Amino acid sequence: MAAVASTNPSQLLPLELVDKCIGSRIHIVMKNDKEIVGTLLGFDDFLFLCVSEITPEGRRITKLDQILLNGNNITMLIPGGEGPEV
């Protein structure tokens, strides 16, 4: 019996789900309570993320071209997230 590749996100490993998010919008919650929304460009095994078109959410909005985030400082990744409502 041949194994069939599943596209159900609930059956993917965490890094597989992040890999499927490359090129799409992602909402990132950091440990210091900062929230960032941008387009995921890539990542490595330690979950260092390269994100472009950044718009940190909150009271002060700053637009950045590109940023590299340390995986140790990331609390949550939300694929397709648009960030919190202000």
CATH assignment at residue 72:
2.30.30.100
* Residue 39 in domain: yes
Q: Who has greater pLDDT, 11 or 2?
A: 11
* Residue 2 in domain: no
pLDDT tens sequence across 50-69: 888 666 555 566 677 888 89
Identify the band that residue 38 occupies on the pLDDT scale cut at 50, 70 and 90.
Answer: confident
pLDDT (mean) for 33-53: 86
pLDDT (mean) for 1-21: 71
* Residue 6 in domain: no
Q: How many beta carbons lie within 10 A of that of residue 3, not counting itself? A: 5
Beta strands across the sheet bearing 74-79: 64-69, 49-57, 35-43, 25-30, 74-79
Q: How far apart are CA 79 and CA 22, in angstroms?
A: 10
Q: Which of 37, 21, 30, 23 is nearest to 82 (CA)?
A: 37
